Chains A and B, each alone.
Chain A
């Protein structure tokens, strides 16, 4: 079945770049997503990438997609303390007549001075 895996924890120094990695299994996914969750809050859509793209850049965020290896990454440039949160990778899969999301376990990003 579909599965999404990501590392659980990342610690970076403020001002450095953060790279969060994710692998997925469903090669037919049309969209792949990165969501951010702060403590006690819902999920905020950070960015998404179409499956026919290799890279997408949006201000400090860069998403890289390697379809051959089914690998997705999120790079955050100039990481700030406000970026501390849990980051979920997600892919779309079609089931039961709906386009649903399957999430990774989430990567907890800790930014320290």
Chain B
């Protein structure tokens, strides 16, 4: 149980285009979803948190107009990187959690999406 998927697993795009990444909790309903960014050989940096049907809460320094988050249902959240630039290249990981997690408030992570912007 507690499986979270991400799609796509990797994406290469041209500078200036927008990229959408999907995160799905497959076997439980996630009241809260989180989006992280991970640079090579570094830890995870929380970008934003969202509850289903609510606007996302962004961490300090994260541009909300650049990284659009939509938590449309209890099993789906999307991250759209708008007008991507090479500095947005990174490994993006989502997690699902909240009070309805198999272990309450515990986050279960997706496999990550590697984004390369040329």
Spell out A's residues near B (CB within 8 Å): 30-31, 33, 35, 40-45, 48, 88, 92, 96-101, 103-106
Spell out B's residues near A (CB within 8 Å): 2, 4, 6, 32, 34, 42-44, 46, 49, 57, 93, 95, 97, 103, 105-112, 114
Is A42 in contact with B112, judged by CB distance below 8 angstroms?
A: yes
Contacts A96-B57, A106-B43; A45 near B108 (Cβ below 8 A): yes
A103 to B107 alpha-carbon distance, docked (Å): 12
Is A31 in contact with B105, judged by CB distance below 8 angstroms?
A: yes
Nearest CB on A from B26, distance (A): 13
The main secondary structure of chain B at its interface with chain A is strand
By a CB distance below 8 angstroms, the chain B residues around A104 are 43
The main secondary structure of chain A at its interface with chain B is strand
By a CB distance below 8 angstroms, the chain A residues around B32 are 98-99
Is B49 in contact with A100, judged by CB distance below 8 angstroms?
A: yes
Nearest CB on A from B65, distance (A): 19
* 25 A-B pairs whose Cβ atoms sit less than 8 Å apart in the complex: A30-B105, A31-B105, A31-B106, A33-B106, A42-B109, A42-B110, A43-B93, A45-B107, A45-B109, A48-B106, A88-B43, A88-B44, A92-B105, A96-B49, A97-B57, A98-B49, A98-B57, A99-B32, A100-B46, A100-B49, A101-B34, A101-B46, A101-B107, A103-B44, A106-B43
A21 to B106 alpha-carbon distance, docked (Å): 21
The CB with the most chain A CB atoms within 10 A, among B43, B95, B112, B114, is that of: B43
By a CB distance below 8 angstroms, the chain A residues around B108 are 45
Is B109 in contact with A44, judged by CB distance below 8 angstroms?
A: yes
A97 to B97 alpha-carbon distance, docked (Å): 14
By a CB distance below 8 angstroms, the chain B residues around A45 are 2, 106-109
Nearest CB on B from A49, distance (A): 11
Is B114 in contact with A40, judged by CB distance below 8 angstroms?
A: yes
The residue on A at minimum CB distance from B45 is A103
The CB with the most chain A CB atoms within 10 A, among B2, B6, B105, B110, is that of: B105
